[in-house]
Every structure is written in C-alpha cells, then in structure tokens.
Homo-oligomer: A and B are copies of this chain.
Amino acid sequence: MTRLSVPEDDLFGLTNLPYGVYSVPGRSPRVGTRFGDFVVDLCLLLDDPTFAAPSLNPFMAQGRGRWDDVRSRLRSALSGDVPDEAVHAVSDVTLHLPFEVADYVDFYASEHHASNLGRLFRPDSPEPLMPNWKHLPVGYHGRSASVVVSGTDIVRPSGQRLPAGATAPVFGPSTRLDIEAEVGFIVGRGNPMGSPIPASSADDHLFGVVLFNDWSARDIQAWEYVPLGPNLGKSFASTVSPWVVPLAALDAARVPVPPQAPSVLPYLEMSPPWGLDISLEVEWNGEVVSRPPYAAMYWSPAQMLAHLTVNGAPTRTGDLFASGTVSGPSRHERGAFIELTWGGSEPVTVAGRSRTFLEDGDEVVLRATAPGVGGTRIGFGEARGRILPAVH
C-alpha cells in the first residue's frame, strides 16, 4: 500500500478526479482516474467491476446517485493508502477514447464566433447572425465514428472545393484546414423518446466535460454546406481529451451566462442559466496563439440539452454535444484560425513564420483549466493532434 502525495494545488488534485480509460502493455483497457501524475485503477481501488470495462458507458448509465457516491468514495480512498497494483505513472499508460459515442451534436453557442463566421461566410448579408440565433441554440448532428482521442494523428481530408471565380468544383486535399476549440458535454443518462429534459434537470443527465477540437476543412465546408449544413468539411475527425471532468468537479466554475436578450422561450428559461468559467488555450506548434474564454458563451449547456430534446428526441448514455467554437470578443480569444486570421487575410506569426491555415506536420493542442472548490484549479488535460499529409 502507498500513500500518494499530490499537492493540494495540483490541476489533478482531490477536487478534480476525472475519469478516463487507460491501458498498460499486455492488459486490456479499463477505467482509471488521474490523481496528480498518477493514474489509479478504479476497479482495484474501489473493488468494483463496473470499472473493468473499456469505456465509461456502464458507469455513466448508472445515474447521478451512483456518480455522486463513487466520487465520494474515490476522494476517501485516495486520501488514504492505495494498493500498489492500482497505481501507474501517467507516463506509463496509454489513454483511450474514454466513452463510446452514441449521437454527437455540435452547437454554435458563441455569439462572437457565430458573428465572425457570418461575416466571413456571408459577406453580403447585412446581419452577421441569422434571425433564429438568439432564440435557439443552433446545432447540427455530426459523425460519431470519427471522434478520436487526443494524440491521434489527423490525416488531411480531400474533397470538393470551389476555387475563387470558378463555376465548377475541383477535387483535392483541403487547402483551408482549421481547428475549432470547443468544450464537449457527455450525457451520462439519457431520456426516453417523447420525454424532453427540462433545462432545470440537466444536472441529472450530464456526466462530465471534455475538451473538443472540431477539425474543419473550410474550403470543403463552404462549398457543401448550403442548404443542409456541414458534412464532409467536419466528418473526417474530431479530437477529445482523454479525461472526462465530472460536472460535480465544476461546481465552483459555474457562472451566469452573458445576458440573453431578447428573452428566451419558457422551455429555455433558467434562473439564471449557468455557464462555466473554463479558460482554454490553443497551442499551435508549441506557441499559445489564443485564449478563448468559455464564460463568454451565450447559450448554457443545460439550455443546449433542453433544446436538443424538446421535440421528444431521445438521448442515450454516451451522447456527446459540443459547444461550437469558443471565441471571446478580442482577437486572441478566437478559437478557430479562420477567425484569428480573418479568413486567411490577417496572418499570425507562429514560431517566427506568418501563418493562416494548417500545414502538414503542424500540431495543435487545446488545454484548459477552471476554478475548483477551495481555491484550487481543475485541469482538463489536453486535446492534441498532428496533421498528416492527404492520402490522395
């Protein structure tokens, strides 16, 4: 038995305790928590076979009461002596996609991002926001199969794009490959078909939070997206961070969302809608180029979930919904390169070079922290990906 020594102010201290799926050579993936620079096996620590699974889904399906109970037992167990065989150095393990993704929906919840994209994609339109934007959290379904864990290489997608001035598209590798720095929310327990989730009940359904990079091929997207929305411009890959931060760890990070005017319809009302004070950073080839503030997001996670289900649509354990690009009001708070470089017309300097969109070999890392209880800070780990050349 060992007493694990982790400083109180560690980003992965006792106030965080995120869940992930790890493996060590020769052993099957199973659930662990990160505590300081350790990964602790939950099946061994808590003597609970739920955590012998290679995904969080069985645990998530057990619901809020179980989540709270396990979190409480975990804090106690990690405050005492821990079986040696349950402990690994984080550098010794492989981290896997922590959950099986059921349906995946991407929202568009930042007013700054939606306004910027409106100006860039529809320059002739007098209003950057569509008339619906402040009445409902706009979102669309994306591809669950291409959600990958941090560290997975991203192959540059090929597809159709319409060159400037052309009337017919050409095919080839995307020339405007971009990121979207987002926050993802995981549904632990869903709702049956026909029974919407009220915004006030979101806490009973939301299990946890991850970082999310919605890689985006802007040239493919611009050509395909009218009238049915993004498809191939997004579906090739999305990267999630390996540690799912429990919603319960973010109690101290709750902040009201910015004022919502005009007032929302009753099914979206909350008093007040809570956002999360998560501070993101976007690192491009080792240099931090942006610090998007999640607290600036217009629509709250509970409002997104209420909207998603208000028509009776069911959600399931493992449903993932992402916020859309997190962008703040100032330039170096923008979470996508198309915004940061204003469609490529205002390059940024990265590692001494003038840059717009992603080149082969580039690496992007999203990181974030948020306030934890007792003045601590909660770490989210990272969502990392490197661009490989197109295959054709």
Contacts and interface: CB of A to CB of B under 8 A. Distances in A.
Interface in A110-157: 118, 121-122, 130-132, 135-136, 138-146, 148, 155, 157
Contacts of A228: 108, 138-140, 225, 229-230
A311 B148 contact: no
Interface residues of A, number: 70
Contact of A217 (B217, B227, B311): B311
A220 interface: yes
A231 B135 contact: no
Contacts of A103: 143-145
Interface stretch (A201-209, A260-268, A287-295, A367-375): A260-268
Contacts of A102: 144-145
Given A130-B226, A139-B231, A169-B135, A146 B307 contact: no
A193 interface: yes
Nearest to A145: B314
A391 to B, nearest CB: 6
Nearest to A108: B228
Contact of A312 (B130, B157, B226, B307): B157
Given A130-B227, A132-B223, A235 B171 contact: no
A15 to B, nearest CB: 34
A380 interface: no
A30 B62 CA distance: 27
Given A121-B227, A141-B231, A266-B171, A146 B313 contact: yes
A143 to B, nearest CB: 6
Residue in A162, A220, A224 with the greatest tally of chain B CB atoms within 10 Å: A224
Given A160-B135, A235-B313, A391-B312, A155 B225 contact: no
A29 interface: no
B314 A146 contact: yes
B141 A142 contact: yes
A279 interface: no
10 contacts: A132-B160, A132-B162, A136-B169, A136-B224, A140-B228, A145-B319, A157-B311, A194-B391, A217-B311, A232-B311
Closest A-B pairs by Cβ, 5 of them: A229-B229, A157-B311, A141-B141, A140-B228, A228-B229
Given A105-B231, A141-B141, A146-B313, 4 more contacts: A108-B228, A136-B224, A140-B231, A155-B312
